[in-house]
Amino acid sequence: MSRPVVVTTRIMFHQWGRLTLVVNLYIQISVCFRTVDSFIERPAYIIPESPVIKFGSQLEASCILSDSFIKESDVDANQIFWKLKENRIPEDHFFTVNSTVSNITLTISIVGSALLTCNVQLNEDQVTTVFGIQITTGLPPDKPKNLSCITYYDKNMTCSWDPGRYTYLPTSYRLKLSIASGELRPYELPNGVNNSFAILYPHIHYFVLNTIWVEANNDLGSAKSVPIHLDPVDVIKPDPPVIYLVQQVDGISTVLDVKWVNPAVPVTYKLKYNLRYRILDTQEWRQVPPEDTESHRESFLVQNMKPFTDYAFTIRCKKNDGTEYWSDWSSEEIGKTLEAKPLRGPPIWRTIENLDTQKRRIHFMWKELDKSDANGIILGYQMTIKEKNSLKIQRIAIKDLEYNITLSQAEYEITLIASNSVGNSSNETLIVPATWKSALPPVKHLSVYPQDGQLIVEWKPPVSAVSGYVIEWCEESRKDLCPGPLYWQREQKTANKAFLKENVMPFKRYRITIYPLYSGRPGAPLSKLTYLQQDRPVNGPLVHLKHVGKKEVELMWNEIPVNEQRGFITNYTIFYKNGNVNESSIVVNAKYQEIILNSLTGNTLYVVRVMASTVKGGTNSSEVNFTTLNFAKGEIEAIVVPICLGFLLITMLTILLCFNKRHLIKKYVWPNVPDPANSRVVEWSSSTGNLIQNNLSSKEPMNPDGFISDVTIIEADVDDKKYLSNEDEIKPLTSLKKGKSTSEEHSSGIGGSSCMSSPRQSVSDSDESESVQNTTSTVQYSTVIVSGSGYRCQQPSAQVFTRSESTQPLLENEEKPDEHAYGNFGSCSTEVKRQYFKQNGSIRETNLNESHPNEAEILGDMNEDDSFRLNQMKVSDQSPDLEGCCPTVEDIPSSNDQTVVKLEFLGFSAGLETDQQSYMPQAVKHNSYMPQSK
């Protein structure tokens, strides 16, 4: 059975009725010519198949399902949907014609190839692609433009053109050439070539007019260029000449002779040339004037060149009538001019170090001359040093680029000359001013800023005319200090800006200084700090706590080292926080390195850090912890000082109160208790009744311990009136009554007690008769010995130390009538016990050195009835108003170391002679007692 013929047609209809008719016709023809097996193999078809469509046009296509696919899959055209490049096309672009056909209309907005598929939704989860076609989209070719041809003599003629826009489709180009004789020669270009073609020699016909054009074709159309008419000889582009020699001219350092070989051209062909040259290692070309090379030639002398300089030469040529093309430039050829004298002296500069007031060390330095200025190889330098106002000149030959010398403080003129094999340069002069001269004016303004990876220094010239400028710079690794090398460069007098040409690195601080030169004399410098490029600091500042208070803290931080700043510090930011509380910050100007943080909370832990910032960012310091104080400054003092002052005031008031009430305190706190161990009493012989008189030495101080050491008490009763008959003898007693006791001027010396009790009744002139009539009177005869320091004006003649025989303390009012009479000398309010002595007659003076059988003999003829009483003796250590406490003792001149005590009473007297005039102190201590004989 023969295979059916499948007819494929490409039909596009704009009316759906006509499209439906064609589709039905196509189905009927397909059914007629296809076998059953072949129909099953294709479940659907899309017409047209693989269309080529112009970009932006519409495409109409139909998807036709086979009957067998419909029956087997139980689907129809309603379940068809379309995809373009795997993207589902919206349903409004296609519709169902009948149960087997679905039509789609698309506007193609893509270029190139794309796959259009017809798909069927079998069920909710299953989709199948029943058929697909490849759509190709592109553009028809543009008309070729700018057709031109160039002839390479004896090689080929190459034509080129502009093919226009890209078509996205395979496009073929043909170059067609028609000779004047009518011969047509089409040249098919190889695949992929669409803009040029070369016609090889000998297919080129010279001196004949040729017509040339280009044709382009693809599936969407064709185009043809505008033809051109030319003779190949008129469009010749010759090969470049070949330079084979560049040589020097003897004796001329500014001329080079260039020689070359011309290319092959027709005999009648005349050439003209372009010759250019440049200094080697530069990109700037200089050209020989075209009018000097318009004639046909093979060499040329190039003039006005720099001595001892390498030059590169290249040349090209063309037909001299100017109607053809220039050849390409030839390859370069190198030549070098001869040496000449240096054009100028090397630029010189200096640094000055003052050694003392008389000397200074000067370091001279200069730069190598540029090749253009050196004009040869520099063999050495000659320096001349001349002191102003002096005939002394130093000439120094140097091969290095620096020289050190020690000069005085005067002004010097320095000249420097460079030499090569041809001769010497002109002088370069530098003035070293005297130290006492003021500097010349500096430039008016200086600014430095980076640009294109270099530092630009810009300034305004001073008012006075200058001969040049010197710019020097150094890396400042420490503040105001450049320990590294110094770089400098010289600028012309007309300049007002300059690039720093070398030794400038990013993130480094440089100090830029400019000096104007006035005929070689430097003016005052003007400096500025700058960076080529800045960055954030390497490290943050080092933070210290200067003072921590209750609600404030004073922070200070060190400035970051210059080599770690990597830029200018613009500000410092202080960050601080308390625990998890939000962090606070304060910005501080860069010129400050300390701050006081206020409004803090007392007794709280804080964390603080300081960030140093440049224009590129900031770097934080390490964190510092501190705890605020519980009390602010002065709070403790405000509490403690009033308390202490109050306590001190209370203490002082207490002391004053105790001082005023000391007698009460003494009475109730520490009463006086006599100590018999410290008593010193004159001993009486109990067997003979004689008074044992201790030898008193005038040279020995009495009682150095300050206590009473010897007390003798004699009591007598006088009641007989006959002894009072003589009125003259009563007067001494009157004077005794009226006299002040000598004990008023000193302390009693008895355990610190004083005669503070009320005074006893004294005898006055008005009551003499009453005293006489008293039935009982007491005469106390006593010897009291105290330390010399205890009395103001009395110095005892001797010092007697007699210990009491008693070992018991004496209590107040205690009495032993058989042996002793106790006198309570510790209290002046108690009367002295009275002891009566019988007298046989009137009292007389008695020498105590004599021995007496008893005490009655000492008193003379005193009777028992004629007793007398000495009223109430008192001992006082403070108050001069206490009278009658102690008897009055008159001063008696001393003789032969004898002591006399004279008692005056009722006209009678008894005396105790002493070697010095002295009142015997009447104070006693610790209730001392005196043994008495009966």
Give yes or no for residue 522 having a pLDDT over 90.
Answer: yes
Q: Are residues 710 and 851 in the same domain?
A: yes
Find the CATH number of the domain harbouring 472: 2.60.40.10
Token digits of residue 906: 């009722």
Give yes or no for residue 617 having a pLDDT over 90.
Answer: yes
Q: Are residues 867 and 755 in the same domain?
A: yes
Q: What is the pLDDT of residue 428?
A: 93
Q: What is the pLDDT of residue 681?
A: 57
Q: Are residues 168 and 134 in the same domain?
A: no
Tens of pLDDT along 401-423?
Answer: 999 999 999 999 999 999 999 99
Quick one: which of 243, 254, 369, 245 has its CA closest to 315?
243
> Does some domain include residue 440?
no
Buried/exposed code over 431-460 (b: 16+ C-beta within 10 A; e: otherwise):
bbbeeeeeebebbeebebebeeeebebebe
8 Å CB contact between 855 and 700: no
Integer CA distances (angstroms), 374 to 24, 284, 387, 421, 811, in order: 99, 20, 29, 11, 133
Q: What is the pLDDT of residue 341?
A: 93
Q: Are residues 332 and 358 in the same domain?
A: no
Last residue of a domain, one of 185, 204, 235: 235
More confident residue, 53 or 783: 53
8 Å CB contact between 845 and 902: yes
More confident residue, 288 or 790: 288
Distance from chain centroid for Cα 891: 94
Arithmetic mean of pLDDT, 739-756? 36
The top-scoring range by mean pLDDT among 172-186, 486-500, 652-666 is 486-500
Token digits of residue 863: 């009777």
Q: Which of 501-510, 630-639, 642-651, 900-909 has the lowest mean pLDDT?
A: 900-909
Q: Are residues 862 and 752 in the same domain?
A: yes
Q: Which of 16-20, 250-254, 307-311 has the lowest mean pLDDT?
A: 16-20
d(CA 331, CA 244): 10
Last residue of a domain, one of 138, 153, 178: 138
Containing structural domain, residue 452:
445-531
Average pLDDT, the chain: 74
Tens of pLDDT along 822-872?
Answer: 343 333 333 333 333 333 433 333 343 334 444 434 334 444 444 333 343
Give yes or no for residue 140 having a pLDDT over 50.
Answer: yes
DSSP 470-524: EEEEEE-SBTTB--S--EEEEE-TT-SEEE--SS--TT-EEEEEEEEEETTEEB-
Q: Is 743 helix (H, G, I), strand (E, B) or coil?
A: helix
Residue 779 carries which side chain, given as an amino acid letter?
A: V
Name the band, by pLDDT with cuts 50, 70 and 90, for residue 77.
Answer: confident
8 Å CB contact between 351 and 432: no
Q: Are residues 759 and 898 in the same domain?
A: yes
Residue 668 carries which side chain, given as an amino acid letter?
A: Y
Q: What is the pLDDT of residue 473?
A: 94
Q: Are residues 39 and 90 in the same domain?
A: yes
8 Å CB contact between 175 and 187: yes
Q: Are residues 354 and 454 in the same domain?
A: no
> Does some domain include residue 656?
no
- What region, left, alpha or beta, does residue 469 occupy, with left being phi > 0 and alpha being psi -120 to 50 degrees? beta
Q: Are residues 880 and 772 in the same domain?
A: yes
Q: Are residues 202 and 247 in the same domain?
A: no
More confident residue, 765 or 75: 75
Q: Which of 44-53, 196-205, 273-282, 872-881 has the lowest mean pLDDT?
A: 872-881
> Does some domain include residue 662?
no
Name the band, by pLDDT with cuts 50, 70 and 90, for residue 562.
Answer: very high
Q: What is the pLDDT of residue 669?
A: 80
> Does some domain include residue 657?
no
- Which residues, listed in sequence order, are joined to residue 455 by a DSSP beta bridge? 450
Last residue of a domain, one of 316, 336, 356: 336
Token digits of residue 827: 């209290």
Arithmetic mean of pLDDT, 441-465? 92
Give yes or no for residue 880 having a pLDDT over 50.
Answer: no
Number of Cβ within 10 Å of residue 717's Cβ equals 24
> Does some domain include residue 620?
yes
Give yes or no for residue 608 having a pLDDT over 80.
Answer: yes
Name the band, by pLDDT with cuts 50, 70 and 90, for residue 262.
Answer: very high
Q: For strands 521-522 and 624-627, give the pairing.
A: unpaired
Q: Are residues 769 and 702 in the same domain?
A: yes
Q: Which of 23-27, 372-376, 902-906 has the lowest mean pLDDT?
A: 902-906
Name the band, by pLDDT with cuts 50, 70 and 90, for residue 533.
Answer: very high
Q: Are residues 760 and 893 in the same domain?
A: yes
Give yes or no for residue 132 having a pLDDT over 80.
Answer: yes
> Does some domain include residue 439?
no
> Does some domain include residue 640?
no
Give yes or no for residue 733 having a pLDDT over 50.
Answer: no
- Which residues, listed in sequence order, are joined to residue 606 by a DSSP beta bridge? 626
Q: In what order do the strands lie in the sheet with 412-419?
A: 393-398, 380-387, 412-419, 428-432
Question: How is the chain split among helix, strand and coil, in percent rounded to 5?
Answer: 15, 35, 50
> Does some domain include residue 508?
yes
Q: What is the pLDDT of residue 269?
A: 83
Percent residues over pLDDT 90 in the chain: 37
Give yes or no for residue 340 having a pLDDT over 90.
Answer: yes
Quick one: which of 863, 845, 840 has its CA closest to 899?
845
Integer CA distances (angstroms), 344 to 338, 427, 432, 702, in order: 17, 7, 21, 120
Q: How many structural domains does the chain have?
A: 7
